[in-house]
Amino acid sequence: MKKTSTRLADGRELIYYDLRDDTVRDAVDRRPLERTVTTSEIRRDVLLGDSVAVASHRQGRTYLPPADECPLCPSRGERLSEIPESSYDVVVFENRFPSLAGDSGRCEVVCFTSDHNASFADLTEEQARLVLDAWTDRTAELSHLPAVEQVFCFENRGREIGVTLGHPHGQIYAYPFTTPRTALMLRSLAAHKEATGGENLFDAVLERELADGRVVLGSEHWVAFVPYAAHWPYEVHLYPRRRVPDLLALEEAARTEFPKVYLELLRRFDRIFDDSEGGAQESPTPYIAAWHQAPFGTLEEFDGVTRDDFALHLELFTIRRTSGKLKFLAGSESGMNVFINDVPPEAAAQRLREVASS
């Protein structure tokens, strides 16, 4: 992997990740951009104990432009975009409309490929490995920023999810706090560790899932399963078999094997609803793919828990519950955070085993 860092016209950082070591990246951003001004503010909800990012400048962000005006495609001729070069392998750059900025953290965009019509599932294993290396590198770099406590790499895919740019891409959020979802996991870890005399909860969960029959696919270094209490109609958790706290600690053998396993999982997701209930094929499947990593800040409030107790894992889920129908977060989910799942996890696991990608 070759890494080349440069600056866009408004001062934002842009980084090329290339498969070839002899690739030269020297194109200049020719757009007449003024420096980005953000109004991101973190407000604490004292009743719920969580935080809300208020970012009014995001109201003006680019929304579903036509393909020939996509800001994530390479720049070609007089068609100028966020990427000055005429082609690229993987690119990461600071979001022009960030939810978090300055003392409130940082937001980055990850472009998986220059092919506007592709998806992550269309990548080769070599390309997918490059994305993994980029995620890892950005996790390392962002963890050193004074304001950052947790790094979150994720992909939103599909208009149903709320994606505003159709180009295959993901994002990285660097939060100035430990996120509420991670804090819940850490509290559960601490309670279980104390109650069992030191047993790790993540290890116990993985052992149970391996025994209970909800495994979708497994390899020497990875296991993908539908969790016992899945929140979403089709939800898969992907764990390395050897527990590590973050992408930085992932061993080389697991990194090498990841592209094959993850691409297979994504391709199965695209086949869930094919010919479902006698209907027409309905691909691609909208989804969210989310990496969960241990925070880099202090864990003093979680008694007895260290970073090494946390288990790196990826959660992949879709809001589509059946062909032509979405799972909406209505009263119980949005009002009380109590999910109601219409698809039994065992049935979801069986379906995902049946639709092995061709």
Decide: helix, strand or coil at residue 132.
helix
Distances (CA, A) of 2 to 15, 22, 89, 141: 10, 8, 10, 16
pLDDT(358) > 70: no
Query: Which tens digit of pLDDT belongs to each residue from 202-237?
Result: 999 999 999 999 999 999 999 999 999 999 999 999
Question: Residue 60's pLDDT is what?
Answer: 74
What CA–CA distance (Å, rounded) separates 36 from 34? 6
Question: Residue 254's pLDDT is what?
Answer: 98
Helices (H), 271-344: 336
Q: Which residue has the tokens 């958790």?
A: 237
Written as six digits, the tokens of 47 are 């009743």
Q: Which residue has the higher pLDDT, 37 or 32?
A: 32
Question: Residue 280's pLDDT is what?
Answer: 52
pTM of the model as a whole: 0.95
DSSP 192-215: HHHHTTS--HHHHHHHHHHHHT-E
Question: Residue 59's pLDDT is what?
Answer: 79
**Count of CA atoms in the C-beta half-sphere (13 A) of 133:** 19
Query: Which tens digit of pLDDT belongs to each residue from 258-289?
Result: 999 999 999 999 999 986 544 455 669 999 99
User: Would you tell me how many other CB atoms lie within 10 Å of the CB of residue 238?
Assistant: 21
Known active-site residue 169: yes
Share of the chain above pLDDT 90, in %: 90
φ/ψ of residue 346, rounded to 5: -65, -40
Q: Treating both helix axes as pointing N-terminal to C-terminal, what angle do 125-143 and 252-269 enclose, rounded to 10 degrees? A: 120
Question: Residue 51's pLDDT is what?
Answer: 94
Q: What's the full length of the chain, in residues?
A: 358
pLDDT(306) > 80: yes
Is the alpha carbon torsion for 5, 247, 184, 229 positive or negative? Answer: positive
What CA–CA distance (Å, rounded) separates 163 from 23? 31
C-alpha torsion 296→299→305→308, nearest 10? 10
What CA–CA distance (Å, rounded) separates 332 from 287? 21
What average pLDDT does this structure show over 73-79? 96
Is the alpha carbon torsion for 215, 219, 220, 225 positive or negative? Answer: negative
Question: Residue 252's pLDDT is what?
Answer: 98
**Count of CA atoms in the C-beta half-sphere (13 A) of 288:** 16
Is the alpha carbon torsion for 193, 194, 196, 197 positive or negative? Answer: positive
Query: Which tens digit of pLDDT belongs to each residue from 94-124?
Result: 999 999 998 899 999 999 999 999 999 999 9
**Average pLDDT of every residue of the chain:** 94
What CA–CA distance (Å, rounded) separates 296 from 278? 49
Query: Of the listed 167, 169, 292, 313, which one is catalytic?
Result: 169
Question: Residue 29's pLDDT is what?
Answer: 97
What average pLDDT does this structure show over 27-34? 95
Question: Residue 264's pLDDT is what?
Answer: 97
